[in-house]
């Protein structure tokens, strides 16, 4: 058998993984339980997996059975004082990581770190699942996981309508995003309170979907009126993040258009940021951790997310029908309709028209304002629908101020 650098790397990785997991298990012996496996045993187990891999299938199978017997013996020795199976499962995983290290050392090392971290966080994970998470939150987490990991992969990732605009997978991704935004806001609220948590979650959610963010935070403010102001600030910051992506799309697709329209877009960003900051400054007197009474029981409502998905479907079909009815001349109108769903795809249409000369730079600049206006109108309606009158007024005021500033700067 030829010893290569890859062989040495795999053996070293296997030993390192065994030492890392073994160190964590060794420290657990201080709890008073006479564990069969510690730092030396786990190091030997991972090395045994690596060596058995090198020796062939029969030694690998035999060693694997021996490790399984070791795990059983370990459990029998400690079952009376510690009926859990964590250490025994860790023994089996360590053996498999030793085998994996000979093929994919980087992956084995990464998984070894994950295993060690999970073992070290035993107390915190138990406390989080038993004391921090409520039953409703666990149900919401399972629903979100099912929507993202079960339903989404089953949907066709292609258009299914005559106009080539309706992609079931894309629409369901929007539904998942609405639920995800609600979950992110809920987690941020629980961790750092309303004043900082919701606005921060809103800004980052906007890079995924500002439309979903408006809907998600509107739902939270409706269920917990105490969250109204931070939810409005979060929705406006989500739109600021979306607007920054909008500027990036314009610059990448038509630099000459960005050179013409940059005062308009910069002004829109500044006004939107100002509107969000007004809401944040009005929160200055709020308690740092917010009101626990203002935390909604559920992170999101599935029925609400499904209803928004249905609205998006109607808008997409209307956009495709209009473009076919009017022809190429309706591309800008179709882009305005698409902006009601999300700005970025609509921006790509306008920049393409400007880049090919179908629209003058001046007309394309007004086209960008039209996209901002169309997006703001539908988000304002969505804000009233999802969050009620007060949330809708707050979001609408910020978005309309952005559109008016963009229009005024375009005129100038």
pLDDT at 293 (0 to 100): 41
Q: pLDDT confidence of 290, banded at 50, 70, 90?
A: very low
Least confident range of 38-42, 71-75, 351-355: 351-355
Mean pLDDT of 10-30: 86
pLDDT at 3 (0 to 100): 74
Residue 267 CB coordination number (10 Å): 19
C-alpha 56 chain-centroid distance = 43
Half-sphere exposure of 367 (CA within 13 A, CB side): 30
pLDDT one-digit tens code per residue, 170-179: 778 878 877 7
Helical axes 39-55 vs 86-101, angle rounded to 10°: 40
Tokens 């929007």 — which residue? 174
Q: How far apart are CA 100 and CA 374, in angstroms?
A: 54
Residues near 207 by beta carbon (within 8 Å), at least 6 away in sequence = 241, 242, 245
Highest mean pLDDT among 187-191, 220-224, 282-286, 324-328: 220-224
What letter would DSSP give residue 131? I
pLDDT one-digit tens code per residue, 104-122: 999 999 999 999 998 888 7
- Residue 405 has which token pair? 């500033």
**How far apart, in Å, are the Cα atoms of 113 and each of 6, 45, 78, 93, 202?**
21, 16, 25, 12, 31
pLDDT tops 80 at residue 360 = no
pLDDT at 125 (0 to 100): 75
Q: pLDDT confidence of 330, banded at 50, 70, 90?
A: low
pLDDT at 241 (0 to 100): 85
pLDDT at 336 (0 to 100): 62
Radius of gyration of the chain (CA): 28
pLDDT tops 50 at residue 123 = yes
Find the length of the chain.
412
Q: pLDDT confidence of 363, banded at 50, 70, 90?
A: confident
pLDDT at 244 (0 to 100): 84
pLDDT tops 90 at residue 20 = yes
pLDDT tops 70 at residue 353 = no
- Residue 232 has which token pair? 């409005």
Going from N- to C-terminal start, the domains of the chain cover 5-128, 134-411
pLDDT at 371 (0 to 100): 81
Q: Pick from 188, 189, 170: which is nearest to 338 by CA?
A: 170
Cβ proximity of 213 and 234 under 8 Å: yes
pLDDT tops 70 at residue 323 = no
- Whether this model's pTM surpasses 0.85: no
Between 98 and 339, name the one with better pLDDT. Answer: 98
pLDDT at 335 (0 to 100): 61
Between 59 and 345, name the one with better pLDDT. Answer: 59
pLDDT one-digit tens code per residue, 45-56: 999 999 999 998
pLDDT tops 60 at residue 214 = yes
Mean pLDDT of 392-400: 92
Q: How far apart are CA 293 and CA 32, in angstroms?
A: 41
pLDDT tops 70 at residue 373 = yes
Mean pLDDT of 345-363: 63
Q: How far apart are CA 204 and CA 241, in angstroms?
A: 7
pLDDT at 286 (0 to 100): 46
Q: How far apart are CA 407 and CA 237, in angstroms?
A: 20
pLDDT at 14 (0 to 100): 94
pLDDT at 107 (0 to 100): 93
Mean pLDDT taken over the chain: 78
Q: How far apart are CA 205 and CA 214, in angstroms?
A: 10
Between 410 and 308, name the one with better pLDDT. Answer: 410
Mean pLDDT of 265-294: 67
Per-residue three-class SS string for 64-93: HHHHHHHHHHHHHHHCCCCCCCHHHHHHHH
Alpha helices, H only, 291-360: 302-326, 331-339, 343-355
Q: How far apart are CA 19 and CA 101, in angstroms?
A: 14
Least confident range of 24-33, 327-336, 390-399: 327-336
What letter would DSSP give residue 296? -
Highest mean pLDDT among 27-41, 174-188, 290-304: 174-188
C-alpha 141 chain-centroid distance = 13
């Amino acid at each position: 058998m030829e010893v290569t650098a890859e062989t040495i790397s795999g053996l070293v990785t296997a030993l390192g993984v065994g030492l890392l997991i073994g160190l964590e298990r060794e420290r657990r012996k201080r709890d008073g339980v006479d564990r069969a496996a510690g730092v030396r045993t786990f190091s030997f187990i991972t090395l045994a997996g690596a060596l058995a891999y090198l020796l062939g299938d029969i030694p690998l199978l035999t060693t694997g059975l021996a490790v399984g017997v070791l795990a059983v013996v370990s459990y029998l020795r400690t079952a009376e004082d510690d009926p859990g199976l964590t250490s025994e499962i860790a023994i089996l995983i360590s053996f498999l990581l030793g085998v994996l290290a000979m093929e994919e050392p980087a992956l084995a090392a990464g998984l070894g770190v994950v295993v060690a971290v999970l073992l070290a966080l035993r107390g915190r994970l138990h406390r989080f699942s038993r004391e921090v998470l409520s039953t409703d939150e666990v149900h919401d987490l399972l629903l979100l996981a099912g929507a993202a990991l079960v339903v989404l992969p089953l949907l066709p990732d292609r258009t299914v309508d005559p106009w080539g605009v309706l992609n079931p997978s894309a629409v369901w991704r929007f539904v998942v995003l609405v639920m995800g935004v609600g979950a992110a806001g809920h987690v941020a609220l629980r961790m750092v309170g309303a004043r900082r948590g919701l606005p921060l979650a809103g800004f980052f959610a906007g890079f995924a979907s500002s439309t979903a963010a408006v809907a998600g935070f509107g739902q939270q403010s409706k269920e917990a009126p105490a969250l109204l102001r931070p939810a409005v600030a979060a929705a406006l910051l989500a739109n600021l993040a979306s607007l920054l992506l909008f500027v990036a799309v314009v610059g990448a697709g038509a630099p000459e258009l960005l050179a013409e329209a940059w005062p308009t877009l910069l002004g829109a960003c500044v006004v939107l940021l100002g509107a969000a900051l007004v809401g944040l400054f009005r929160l200055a007197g709020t308690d740092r951790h917010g009101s626990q009474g203002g935390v909604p029981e559920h992170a999101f409502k599935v029925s609400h997310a499904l209803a928004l998905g249905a609205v998006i479907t109607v808008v997409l079909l209307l956009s495709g029908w209009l473009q076919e009815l009017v022809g190429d001349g309706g591309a800008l109108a179709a882009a305005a309709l698409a902006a009601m769903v999300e700005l970025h795809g609509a921006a790509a249409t306008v920049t393409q028209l400007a880049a090919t000369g179908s629209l003058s730079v001046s007309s394309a600049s007004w086209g960008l304002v039209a996209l901002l206006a169309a997006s703001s109108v539908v988000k304002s309606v969505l804000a009233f629908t999802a969050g009620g009158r007060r949330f809708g007024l707050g979001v609408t005021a910020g978005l309309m101020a952005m559109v008016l500033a963009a229009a005024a700067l375009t005129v100038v």
